[in-house]
Structure formats: structure tokens, C-alpha cells
Structure 1
């Protein structure tokens, strides 16, 4: 089995821990709205889903959120809120840094353009390792587990499916990658990830 020339990582749940609650709290504090009102405007309205599918650019997402909330909200507010909600997983990041000595590494996340465009500010430890190689569902207007999103992402990276490995904490997304012809690992914990990487012939260094 040839060593993968690309390792494609999911973001939330693999490279980083994510929690809705701090994000809602920051947006509530900065806007003066209640946490419940923020949740309704961001999630229950369908805004976040629409943004993840590319129906809004970064500023358009902020403007739509402010309109739904009925209060002023800035791009900086939304970036700060997302920053409060996530933190890089140092152990998975260390694995990514090791793999980068043998293969290209990149991110493919079901997420919006606001996150993609501001990820160096939102989660600085991921950079410069993933600089220029962060891809999201919004830019393709497709979402995992649709096999087409993997094909589009790999085309942009100049890699064929048979040379790529995808890692995601959702089984259905790993299955979608396999349908697109990639090798895939359903991430559950560090020991099983390390064992899988050995099976894919990555050196232990």
C-alpha cells in the first residue's frame, strides 16, 4: 500500500475541541441579547446551516445574524465568539506535524467562510502548518459526507483519491470519503488513530 501523499483532517472533533456554549455567551455579552436569543438567531433560524452551505460570505453571515437578532453585531464579535468556542488538540496537532514530514496536510470542514477566512485568528496553533490548505463546505456549496466534496477538494490540492487519507470523527463522513475513493479513518481516540497510521505505513519517527 503506497504511503498517502495527502492527509486530510476534519477540524472540530479532530484537530480541535469545539463547544457551542462559550460562543453563545460571548455573542450574548457583546450584543446585549440573551443566550437563548443568540441561539435562536444563529442555529434555530437555519442561519448557521445556510452559511455552512455557502449561502453567505463572512460579512453577509454577520449581517444576517444581526438582522435576526435585532441588535448590532460586528465581524470581530463573531470571530471572538468562535475563538472562545474552540481550542486545538495538542496531541492530534503533534501527529499532524509529524505526518507533515511525509505528506501534505490539509483541513476539510463542514463550515462557513467566516471560519475559513479567520481561522488563523480563531485557532492560531493550527498555523502555519495548515496555511493555504483550509477548505470548507461553504466554498464548494457541498457538505460531507457527499463524495463530491472530497473530489472537489482533492482537485484543488492536486491529489488523486487513491493517494489521500481522510480523518473525521463522524463515521458517515469517513464512509463518504471512502465512496469517493479515499482511504479513511473514523477518529475516536488517539490510540486507534496511532494504530491506523501504522497500518497506512507512516513512519513512527
Structure 2
């Protein structure tokens, strides 16, 4: 587990899904619930639903529309917002994420949420998990028109909040996003070892990973 040079960190940028919240909700929705409801509402088999959805998912992965509920509602001819409510009981905080948030806020760090989640997804989760009080800002990449994978997201973030990348910590569970942040010059980067509580540890590539948030606040 990495020890952080907290004296050299002013700003903490945090992802939401898979970083602060258990990714099981999102994985279950997109991989299980949505295909099932697509099959039911369009009168096709589950196997046929998956055959139709898979190429769409692959074509749009990592782009802004991948995270956009309006896009998927139109593309799939489904009320995606309403369908997400059907599994909202699965929305859950990752272990001790709130302890970590409270500690870094108490320490006077600037704490900002940056998520690719659509504003409607963000609102749904904030209704169930009290995250907002910990943050100075809650930023969706849809506000800027660029996903976090895109270098232009970081330019837009800089123009918006004015942060020093060399004195910033960014935690995210997606490797292409961490690599995008690294290319921009964000100095302190951490992946997440187990973003989905039902899937076990994942390969975090060249990045050190947080396993237990309580360990991160040592020396804060």
C-alpha cells in the first residue's frame, strides 16, 4: 500500500463509480439488468439482446456518449433513467471511503469529485449516498463535453477550477483515465484494487492501487 506525501498534495481529485462507490451497481445494471429489460421490452430473447447490445457497447466505450443516459435512451429506445431506479438498492459506498473523505476534508485539502457519470446518474447516487458535503465541487465530464479519457477534459478542468497538477492526487479505477491524467502532468496517481466488490482484485497496470482507504490517511 503506497504512503502518500501529504505535505506535497493540496488538491484531491476523486472519481465516483468504482472509486468511492462500489462498481457492482453499474456493472450489474449494464451487463445484467439492462440486457434483460431490453429483451423484455423489445420482445427478443436474452441472447439476442446481448448480441445487439455488445457491438454498441464496444463502439462507444470510453467516449462521452458511453456515459450519457440520453444517448442510450435514444439508441436503445428504452427509459434508461427509470430502469436505473429499478436496481438503485445496489448503490453502495466502498469500505471506509467516507472515513477517507472526512479525514482529507478535515485536513484542509481541496476535495473535488470528477466523474464521467451523467448528471442524472450522479443525482441518483447522491440521493442514496451522502457524498456532497465532503466536496468543494461535483463535476461531471458532461459539463465540459469531454470524457476524462480525453486530454481536453483536463484543459477544461484547469480552466474551471485552477489547480496545480504537480500538487494534486487523483484516484480512479480506470486505467485509460489515469493515463490521461498522467499525460496532463497530475503527479500523484492511484488506481483502485477492487472497484467491484463481487469481482475481486483487478490488474492496475503501472499504477499503485488503494486497497484500504484507512491506510491512505496515515500521516495526513
Q: TM-score, normalised by structure 1?
A: 0.68
Match of 2:146 in 1: 142
Tell me how far 1:17 sits from its aligned partner: 0.9
Does 2:128 align with 1:116? no
Q: 2:213 & 2:48 partners in 1: Cα distance?
A: 39
Q: Is the 8 A contact 2:100 2:217 kept in 1?
A: no
Q: Which residue of 1 aligns with 2:33?
A: 25
Q: Distance in 2 between matches of 1:128 and 1:169?
A: 22
Please provide the CA RMSD for this pair: 3.8
Partner SS for 1:143: coil
Residue equivalent to 2:113: 107
Instruction: Name structure 2 gaps, 5 residues minimum.
Output: 194-208
The aligned counterpart of 1:153 is 157
Mapped contact 2:14–2:113 kept (Cα < 8 A) = yes
- SS at 1:125 equivalent: coil
Query: Paired residue for 2:175, among 171, 174, 180?
Result: 171
The separation in 2 between residues aligned to 1:56 and 1:191, in whole angstroms, is 26
One of 1, 11, 16 as aligned partner of 1:11: 16
Distance 1:56 1:173 in 2: 14
- Native 8 Å contact 2:15 2:171 kept in 1: yes
Distance 1:127 1:30 in 2: 33
Residues 7 and 103, structure 1, Cα contact 8 Å, conserved in 2: yes
Give the whole-Å Cα distance in 2 for the aligned partners of 1:110 and 1:167: 13
CA contact (8 A) 1:41 1:65 kept: no
> Could you tell me whether the CA contact under 8 Å between 1:167 and 1:186 is conserved in 2?
yes
Which TM-score applies when normalising by structure 2?
0.65
Among 96, 102, 110, the residue aligned to 1:97? 102
Cα shift readout 1:95-146 (whole Å, capped 9, x = no counterpart): 122111121212222332331344322x42323324x622233332322333
**What is the DSSP-based 3-state SS (H/G/I as helix, E as strand, rest coil) of the residue aligned with 1:14?**
coil
Select 1:126's aligned residue among 119, 122, 131: 131
Instruction: Pick closer, same or farther for the CA change 1:139–1:31 going to 2, 3 Å.
Output: farther
- Could you tell me how far apart the structure 2 residues matched to 1:190 and 1:126 are? 19
